[in-house]
Amino acid sequence: MPTEPCFLIAVIKPRMDRADEVVDRLRAMRDATREEPGNVFMELVVGDDTDTWLMLEKFTSREAWEHHMTLPHVTEGNAFLADKLREPTELRFYTEK
């Protein structure tokens, strides 16, 4: 049975007094992730609510995403961001319909 793609929306609420640091780190994490073989796309976006950002992601499988979460650019990036967010990042997972 083939594995299903994994879609994810990460809801990110940065402390706005640290927004420049947060966006710089998120962009670095995004750029490194785009080089992973299991990543299909990753985009950092913002809407009308400018103090809440979204990372839109697609991986070839849930396993590829789980592996992604163990890589240094993710673990070190998440540690760096921990005290620069208003609350922990909310992860929303989706599959194809």
Instruction: Evaluate if residue 8 carries a pLDDT over 90.
Output: yes
Q: Is the dihedral of CA 89, 90, 95, 97 positive or negative?
A: negative
Report the DSSP beta bridge partners of residue 43.
56
pLDDT band at 3 (very low <50, low <70, confident <90, very high): confident
Give pLDDT tens digits for 24-53.
Answer: 999 999 999 999 999 999 999 999 999 999
- Strand locations in the chain, DSSP E? 6-12, 39-46, 53-59, 90-94
Position 1 scores a pLDDT of 54
State percent of the chain over pLDDT 90: 95
Closest CA to 4 of 64, 53, 82, 79: 64
Position 33 scores a pLDDT of 98
Q: Tokens 């609350």 identify what position?
A: 87
* Whether the model pTM is above 0.75: yes
Instruction: Evaluate if residue 2 carries a pLDDT over 70.
Output: no
